[in-house]
């Protein structure tokens, strides 16, 4: 298995994905179609992303993704205004590529 990547998801979006077999949410309030890719993080980036974008949110889960199980391309790209590179999945995330789902409290990781 390649090094896993992570995605913070609304639990309702994840449950809906289980019914269809694929996850299509890019980030909070944005679909894959709107954004063009699904935002992900490396393990060391999860806490920073949680603090910046998910503070105070509830009902979240952290998806652990095996990149080798993806059909879509993963590109490591810099975030706007930063040189830090984040994994972006350029297509739907098959639910079978997710190896672990755990309740996520963004405040607990900062």
- Domains of the chain, residue spans: 5-109
How far lies 70's CA from each of 11, 50, 80, 81, in Å? 21, 24, 25, 28
Of 88 and 28, the one with more pLDDT: 88
- How far is it, in rounded angstroms, from Cα 52 to Cα 87? 17
Domain covering 5-109, topology: ADP-ribosylation fold (3.20.170)
Q: Which residues lie below 8 Å from residue 27, measured CB to CB, with a gap of 6+?
A: 35, 38, 39, 53
Output the pTM of the full model. 0.93
Query: pLDDT (tens digit, 9 = 90+) per residue, 38-78?
Result: 999 999 999 999 999 999 999 999 999 999 999 999 999 99
8 Å CB contact between 1 and 66: yes
Give me the pLDDT at residue 82, please.
Answer: 82
Q: Is pLDDT at 1 greater than 60 in this prediction?
A: no
| Average confidence score pLDDT of the chain | 93
Q: Is pLDDT at 110 greater than 80 in this prediction?
A: no
Of the candidates 107, 101, 109, the one whose C-alpha atom is nearest the C-alpha of residue 13 is 101
Give me the pLDDT at residue 109, please.
Answer: 47
Distance of CA 46 to the CA centre of its chain: 9
Q: Tell me the percentage of the chain whose pLDDT exceeds 70.
A: 96
């Amino acid at each position: 298995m390649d090094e896993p990547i992570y995605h913070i998801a609304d639990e309702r979006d994840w449950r809906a994905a289980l019914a269809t077999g694929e996850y299509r949410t890019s980030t909070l309030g944005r679909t894959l179609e709107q954004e063009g890719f699904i935002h992900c993080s490396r393990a060391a980036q999860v806490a920073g992303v949680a603090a910046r974008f998910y503070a105070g949110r509830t009902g979240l889960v952290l998806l652990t993704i095996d990149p080798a199980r993806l059909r879509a391309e993963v590109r490591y790209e810099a975030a706007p205004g930063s040189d830090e590179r984040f994994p972006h999945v350029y297509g739907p995330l098959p639910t079978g590529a997710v190896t672990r789902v755990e309740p996520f409290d963004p405040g607990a990781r900062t």
